[in-house]
Structure 1
Amino acid sequence: MRFASFFDEVSRAFRDRTAFFKLVVIMAGASGGGLVAYADARSDLDLASSHGPTKKKVVILGTGWAGTSFLRNLDSSLYDVQVISPRNYFAFTPLLPSVTCGTVEARSIVEPIRNIMRKKKGEIKFWEAECFKIDPANKRVHCRYTTAPNSGWTDEFLVNYDYLVIAIGARANTFNIPGVEENCHFLKEVEDAQKIRRSVMDCFERASLPNLDEDERKKNLHFVIVGGGPTGVEFAAELHDFVSEDLSKLYPSVYGLVKIEVIEAGEHILTMFDKRISRFAEEKFQRDGIDLKTGFRVVKVSEKEITMASKSTGEFSEPYGMAVWSTGIGTRPVIVDFMKQIGQGNRRVLATDEWLRVCGCDGIYAVGDCASISQRKVVEDIAEIFRIADKDNSGTLTVKEIQDVLEDFCMRYPQLELYLKSKRMSSILELLKDSKGDATKEAIEVDIEEFRKALTDVDSQVKTLPATAQVAAQQGSYLARCFNKMKDTEEHPEGPLRFRGSGRHQFRPFRYKHFGQFAPLGGEQAAAQLPGDWISIGHSSQWLWYSVYASKQVSWRTRLLVISDWTKRFIFGRDSSCM
């Protein structure tokens, strides 16, 4: 009886105070196996209850701007996060042209992805592998790991997901022009920049050989850049500075034979910038001796010659030593295959809605260069918008009824705000007043046909976002914020009214905010186009470029390395080692 009473007392103490757990186990070892079994069973219950509900699995494909931005801003304690990418680092791609000429070292602009993961809460898994197939029906991705580029041996595996974030970027677009893939360099990855750097030095070393005639030397030192966009222009400027400031001292006998040529199919370079910047860049290139061929398109590239054509000259060929192809982006094969599966086979990139969800898929999101937002048109929803706004079912909208839905209207259809800005109008009421003639704002009352007529041209402001690092980073951050508050917004949605259906959208739609863009033009000069139509060209813009690009590095380690490389270049010049 005493033993039974003692057993009851210990049991109550154990239930009331889990801190006695170790004491009970020790005592059980001396008194028999029954109590040990009780303690084990109790500990299993505690362990099971501590785990809580199973976390949703989020799989991130890619470690570029969009994928890394999503990972850095995601509350990883809420999800089981798994990252898959063929490269185990994030690269600051805007500085790739600087890597090609030794202004910045390759390792200075990369941050190991595991360094970023180490600073996050929860356990994050990373696999250095390539996703070669997405299976939306079974919610899994097929991946393979290649031990070496030419080994021929691969290891394939499957990864299941609850949510899939596709952020694998894009590849260079060759437009199926013969010979481009085999004979041209691209500038999309760190490895591309390193190959270009070695190729530039090889061209100078070959041109310095004693058994070559002058024509052969000129051919080896003819550098062709195809594409007059930001990447092509910046590389041409970097190459010119490298040659004139550093290689001219090391190769004085062949320096005078160097020719840098930029080929652009359009009539001007940097067409995405203000015309003043485009004009300044063209004039500066002419002063620097960079041959600018606008209105020319490349039709074929062989091992020794590049063939181009224009309306005025027709088709002709010229020899070259090195060619860099920088004419836009193309779709990766895995995305092409995925688009065919989901009925988007006729598109160039994945179509997503304004919340970055892949259209026609459950739990799949796409961010960055591999996708574009398919903005819903106002004209498609005119009848539904009118119905929601017309609360008294009178068949007309008053000023108050319009104002009641105005915030949701602008949030759901951002093109309305852009259209009003283009017309220099402060609100939709001015637009409706303009369509009504002489009516005052307060007296505006429109029926559905007048409402439709006033908004007919609003969708002309729907624009595709550019494939830039700035857009990709903002999309990754936005999507991470949505994931962080997904549970809260299920009960308290924060998005605009559903004009088709009832209630509100769970989140606010993605809105891109443009912070400006730079175009380094060489000679310590750059062009900057900032919000508010603010244009700056010259040396001051170059120093602004330095400060912005240093501040945008993802870690203090890379920030200090990049600044150190710039400092070394100012003091010692660029490194010309062929490594």
Structure 2
Amino acid sequence: MYDVQVVSPRNYFAFTPLLPSVTCGTVEQRNGEIQFWEADCLKIDAENNKIFCKANFDNNTVGSEEFSLEYDYLVVAVGAQVNTFNTPGVKENCHFLKDLEDAQRLRRTVIDCFEKAVLPDLTEEERRTNLHFVIVGGGPTGVEFAAELHDFLIEDLVNIYPTVKDLVKISVVQSGDHILNTFDERISSFAEQKFGRDGIEVQTGCRVVSVSDKEITMKMKPTGELCSIPHGLVLWSTGISTRPVVKDFMEQIGQGKRRILATNEWLRVKETENVYALGDCATIYQRKIMDDIVAIFEAADTDNSGTLTMEEFRAVVDDIIARYPQVETYLNNQHLGDLTDLLKDAMSEDKKEVDIEGFKKAIHLVDSQTTSLPATAQVAGQQGKYLAKCFNRKNQCTEHPEGPRRFAGPGGTRHFFAPFR
């Protein structure tokens, strides 16, 4: 039985992938009823298993606003904050899309842009400027907002403001060569083609250097040339950075030189015993198979001959795939049916065996598939369910939910839980 206490500055749950839909009215905001502490976590005291909080109320409330909570296990899921990269004018002149208030504010501004555009005595150029919507950042949030905004304009607003329907323009500015460049190339290509058909302009290879209330200035990467374009609204969606409370926590546990909080494959924060983290505030440090290659070889070499037969290797294949998720990814990407396919070319023709050097050579490319998971709410949601299952079965473990932290080998004890995938 667990006593779960939730600390959050908002008394509702926001599923961030639906925020672009809130801006355009496709999804309405609704508040759920849960019991929790409505407060900001200011500091994590990992040494004393305590967090320090400040109530998220107006200053006219009675009593102390600050309090502390003790914990046996702490799950850090505070997300991240917008990364402006210290670009001049961004905080003052751009919209963001990180919470419900941002989405509501963005929706009001979109409608205001149309209201301004239909005022009398404006030139056509001024109307075009008011109706130029610029999205900086071609990641999931920027692309989803551009698509939702296009539908909102075409299906609703141009019917209400028909006199300016031909003056509306949506632009997506991306510093990389493609939008959605962290996803499969087919997804990126499809999105760009769809935007082309819808009349959404995608400008790649452009780095924003400043934003004013009237225009956005960009540097073209191929030429180094500066150019400015007028705008009526700018959404800034270029990436995320670590929140101060997490940065302070990282300093305490020896992760101060990292850019983001690191967990192991079971979502437990490295260098801690009872703190877990998920979502955008953390990244999984996936152990590389080459770090354990000697231990794997020795465990598989049951007759201590110094070489592996195919039969010996097959006996540990399941353990390897369970312990190192990148193995399965590599096999899929290389269209290989089985891990043993990697070993066939490395085996000697006469004895059909492989020594440690040949084993290393056959396996070394597998770790190339070790990549960070995308900072999306879908990943965080899956991590939450996974961690809940771990805790629900924790009484079956003697140490951590992940169980023994070593390579099992034939007849050994495999990890009690598989790493998060």
Cross-structure match for 1:84: 7
Q: 1:317 to 1:435 in 2, by over 3 A?
A: same
Cross-structure match for 2:87: 177
CA deviation profile, 1:527-575 (whole Å, cap 9, x unmatched) = xxxxxxxxxxxxxxxxxxxxxxxxxxxxxxxxxxxxxxxxxxxxxxxxx
Deviation at 1:354, TM superposition (A): 0.9
Deviation at 1:505, TM superposition (A): 5.9
Deviation at 1:313, TM superposition (A): 6.8
Is 1:111 the counterpart of 2:56 in the alignment? no
Deviation at 1:185, TM superposition (A): 0.7
CA deviation profile, 1:356-412 (whole Å, cap 9, x unmatched) = 110001200011111111111111112222222233333233334323322222211
Cross-structure match for 1:508: 417
Deviation at 1:499, TM superposition (A): 2.9
Cross-structure match for 2:205: 295
Q: Is the 8 A contact 1:494 1:504 kept in 2?
A: no
Deviation at 1:175, TM superposition (A): 1.8
Q: Is the 8 A contact 1:352 1:371 kept in 2?
A: yes
Correspondence for 2:369 among 431, 453, 461: 461
Runs of 4+ in 1 over 4 A off after TM superposition: 491-497, 500-503
Distance 1:276 1:149 in 2: 52
Deviation at 1:177, TM superposition (A): 1.3
Distance 2:315 2:305 in 1: 16
Correspondence for 1:131 among 28, 41, 46: 41
Q: 1:316 to 1:422 in 2, by over 3 A?
A: closer
Deviation at 1:82, TM superposition (A): 0.9
Correspondence for 1:479 among 364, 387, 390: 387
Is 1:449 the counterpart of 2:360 in the alignment? no
Deviation at 1:150, TM superposition (A): 11
Q: 1:319 to 1:466 in 2, by over 3 A?
A: same
Q: Is the 8 A contact 1:409 1:496 kept in 2?
A: no
SS at match of 1:470: helix
Correspondence for 1:205 among 115, 135, 138: 115
Q: Is the 8 A contact 1:307 1:317 kept in 2?
A: yes
Deviation at 1:503, TM superposition (A): 6.4
Correspondence for 2:168 among 243, 258, 261: 258
Cross-structure match for 2:192: 282
Is 1:309 the counterpart of 2:233 in the alignment? no
SS at match of 1:435: coil
Higher helix share: 1
Cross-structure match for 2:77: 167
Distance 1:465 1:266 in 2: 19
CA deviation profile, 1:419-470 (whole Å, cap 9, x unmatched) = 333333333332222112546xxx5333222222222222112121111222
Q: 1:278 to 1:503 in 2, by over 3 A?
A: closer
Cross-structure match for 1:27: none
- The amino acid of 1:111's aligned partner reads G
Deviation at 1:163, TM superposition (A): 0.4
Deviation at 1:308, TM superposition (A): 0.6
Cross-structure match for 2:252: 341
Q: Is the 8 A contact 2:267 2:278 kept in 1?
A: yes
SS at match of 1:144: strand
Q: Is the 8 A contact 2:296 2:407 kept in 1?
A: yes
SS at match of 1:103: coil
Q: 1:187 to 1:253 in 2, by over 3 A?
A: same
Q: How many residues align?
A: 418
Cross-structure match for 1:102: 25
- Larger-gyration structure (1/2): 1
Is 1:189 the counterpart of 2:110 in the alignment? no
Q: Is the 8 A contact 1:98 1:238 kept in 2?
A: yes
Distance 1:216 1:429 in 2: 66
Deviation at 1:246, TM superposition (A): 1.9
TM-score, normalised to structure 2, is 0.91
Is 1:328 the counterpart of 2:236 in the alignment? no
Distance 2:162 2:399 in 1: 72
Deviation at 1:254, TM superposition (A): 2.9
Cross-structure match for 1:351: 262
CA deviation profile, 1:269-290 (whole Å, cap 9, x unmatched) = 2334444443343333333332
- The amino acid of 2:12's aligned partner reads Y
Distance 2:82 2:290 in 1: 36
Q: 1:493 to 1:106 in 2, by over 3 A?
A: closer
Deviation at 1:205, TM superposition (A): 1.6
Cross-structure match for 1:409: 320
- The amino acid of 1:93's aligned partner reads T
Structure 1: state its 5+ residue gaps. Answer: 1-77, 115-124, 513-579
TM-score, normalised to structure 1, is 0.67
Structure 2: state its 5+ residue gaps. Answer: none
Deviation at 1:256, TM superposition (A): 2.8
Cross-structure match for 1:25: none
Q: 1:475 to 1:149 in 2, by over 3 A?
A: farther
Distance 2:128 2:282 in 1: 42
Distance 2:355 2:186 in 1: 45
Q: Is the 8 A contact 2:255 2:261 kept in 1?
A: yes
Distance 1:339 1:291 in 2: 41
Correspondence for 1:319 among 212, 223, 230: 230
Identity of aligned residues (%): 60
Output the aligned Cα RMSD: 2.7
Q: Is the 8 A contact 2:113 2:130 kept in 1?
A: yes
SS at match of 2:163: coil
Distance 1:437 1:503 in 2: 28
Deviation at 1:315, TM superposition (A): 0.6
Q: 1:491 to 1:444 in 2, by over 3 A?
A: farther
Correspondence for 2:397 among 483, 489, 498: 489
- The amino acid of 1:485's aligned partner reads R
CA deviation profile, 1:503-534 (whole Å, cap 9, x unmatched) = 6465323332xxxxxxxxxxxxxxxxxxxxxx
Q: Is the 8 A contact 1:145 1:156 kept in 2?
A: yes
Deviation at 1:348, TM superposition (A): 2.1
Distance 1:279 1:318 in 2: 25
